[in-house]
Amino acid sequence: MGNLIEVRNLQTQFFTQDGIVHAVNGINYDVAEGETVAIVGESGSGKSVGVMSLIRLIPEPPGKIVNGEVNFDGQDLLQLNEEELRQIRGNRIAMIFQDPMTSLNPVLTIGRQITEALELHLNMNREESRARAIELLELVGIPDAGARLDDYPHQFSGGMRQRVMIAMGLSCNPQLLIADEPTTALDVTIQAQIVDLVTRLQSELGMAIIWITHDLGVVAGLADRVLVMYAGFIVEEGPVDVIYGQPRHPYTLGLLRSIPRLDLGRQKRLIPIEGLPPDLLDPPQSCPFAPRCPFVIDKCLEENPPLMSIDAVRKSACWVDLSDVEIYDTSADEQVEAVA
């Protein structure tokens, strides 16, 4: 399958009173048609700024995309004018945000918010767009969709609002759906509904998805490929099963180790990642993970490792070879039966 989108050397900064925030520091990746790519990393690591830059939703000023190319279906999105971009946004590339309450307009009915996009992008008339809106709400599992069309967002629960956002995102049959932590504000049972819904819709409609999250568990069931971000860099990239089976960056390893797992014997003690992420106002020249890294060597302090290929499918930005490190040190685990 061909690449739908190719991101090259993307670099975005914010010029603030306190100085330059180095939010995204030259990242490279591709997303193939129909593929699901997850971007994981902790808050502030540049996940949102990274994807908002793709469709130029960065507030300018203070933000600025200072470098890079975003090739989408043969054109560089960063070179398009506002009008050309509008044709792509919400149409061929759709976006769903974390908090559906702030991204839905509180004074417009649910129905109106969906039909508006349809009328704008697909030139539908009132009746057509209304019929299609009902279809879309039914598709995302809103019961009694015809009647709920005239409700306002506050009359819907959090999970229903997120489903409306997905319906809106899908309304124009996008080729790429960007979902920025769409389930973070939701409960696990509702999250399971949404993940189930999106994977089902994807197999029916065939769009590619970029799914941003900080939850490694959600990624495992959803993504084909994973990008791990830290301090504005992609530090590891690869197919989901390979990354989870044998992480090759100490940060990925640290994340997997620090979360308790429901399916494993109870770990006696969690292994946290000590310390804090670096200040992006004053990023170090060294490897950004060095102050927290248990594997650090001298070279790490001298030179920030680029994202390097390890094999045909995966990349890691680290000077040290982790291929022999076990994720879960089972000897330290207290076995479940010992607790009785």
Partner 1 sequence: MTTQNTESAGVSTAQDSNQSDVLLNVQNLKMHFPITRGIILQRQVGSIKAVDGITFELMRGETLGLVGESGCGKSTTGRAILQLYEPTAGEVIFEGQDLTEINSGELRRMRRRMQMIFQDPYASLNPRMTVGSIVGEPLEVHKIGGSRREQQQRVQELLEIVGLNPYFINRYPHEFSGGQRQRIGVARALAVNPSFIVCDEPISALDVSIQAQVINLLEDLQSEMGLTYLFIAHDLSVVRHISDRIAVMYLGKIVELADREELYENPLHPYTQALLSAVPIPDPEIEKKRQRIILEGDVPSPAEPPTGCNFNTRCPQVMEICHQYEPSFADVGDGHRVACFLYDEVESLDESGQPVSHTA
Contact indicator for 24, 11 with CB cutoff of 8 Å = yes
Residue 259 interacts with partner 1 (CB under 8 A): yes or no: yes
Which listed residue (45, 48, 191, 267) binds Mg ion by CB under 5 A?
48
Return residues touching ligand SF4 (CB under 6 A): 250, 287, 289-290, 293, 295-297, 300, 305, 318-320
Q: Which residues pair with 212 in a beta bridge?
A: 39, 180
Q: What φ, ψ does residue 228 adopt, rounded to 5°?
A: -100, 125
Cβ 142 to partner 1 shortest distance, Å: 10
CA of residue 175 relative to chain centroid, distance: 16
Partner in contact with 334, chosen from ligand SF4, partner 1, ligand ADP, none, beta carbon below 5 to 8 Å by kind: partner 1
Angle at 217 between CA 216 and CA 223, to 5 degrees: 75
Contacts of 334 (CB under 8 A, 6+ apart): 265, 266, 267, 268
Cβ 11 to Mg ion shortest distance, Å: 18
For residue 148, give the DSSP letter. Answer: H
Nearer to Mg ion, 48 or 171 (CB): 48
Q: For residue 158, how many other CB atoms are within 10 A of its CB?
A: 14
Nearer to ligand ADP, 213 or 316 (CB): 213
Cβ 59 to ligand ADP shortest distance, Å: 5
Residue 46 interacts with ligand ADP (CB under 6 A): yes or no: yes
Amino acid (one-letter) located at 27: I
Cβ 334 to Mg ion shortest distance, Å: 30
Pick out residues in 136-195 that bind Mg ion (CB under 5 A): none
Q: What φ, ψ does residue 96 adopt, rounded to 5°?
A: -115, 135
Task: Give the binding site for ligand ADP (CB under 6 A).
Answer: 14, 16, 21, 23, 41, 43-49, 59, 62-63, 280
